[in-house]
A = this chain, B = another copy of it.
Amino acid sequence: MNSTDLKELADLLKALGEFNRLSLVYELCQCAKPRNAMCLCECCSVDASVVSRHLKVLTQERVVKMEKKGRERIYSLNRTDVAERLRALADRIEG
């Protein structure tokens, strides 16, 4: 694995490795339907602006995908993609 791929993987893990962001991911796990940011706000008790920034990070790392709908932004997990990347690491580590 080259340095670029390693950095990309590290960035994914870093994005997931922050408590409130991981809380958002878990919240989205439990939702059959996508949620808007305000709704996600409730799961971690921080300001809306903070949630907005966390969701931006998660979007950049392709953990979630976003869709505009009127004045709302609807978020959903990239389930298979994230799961695959984590399993690839698990496989590599297990050897």
Chain A interface residue count, Cβ-Cβ cutoff 8 angstroms:
34
Residues in chain B near residue A17, CB distance under 8 A: 10-17
CB–CB A18/B29 < 8 A = no
Q: Write the residues of chain A forming the contact surface with B, with a CB cutoff of 8 angstroms.
A: 1, 6-7, 9-19, 22-23, 25-26, 29, 77, 79-80, 82-84, 86-87, 89-95
Residues in chain B near residue A1, CB distance under 8 A: 26
Contact flag A7-B19 (CB < 8 Å), given A14-B14, A94-B83: yes
Contact flag A91-B83 (CB < 8 Å), given A10-B18, A18-B10: yes
9 tightest A-B CB contacts, nearest first: A13-B17, A14-B17, A83-B94, A86-B90, A83-B90, A17-B17, A13-B16, A10-B22, A10-B19
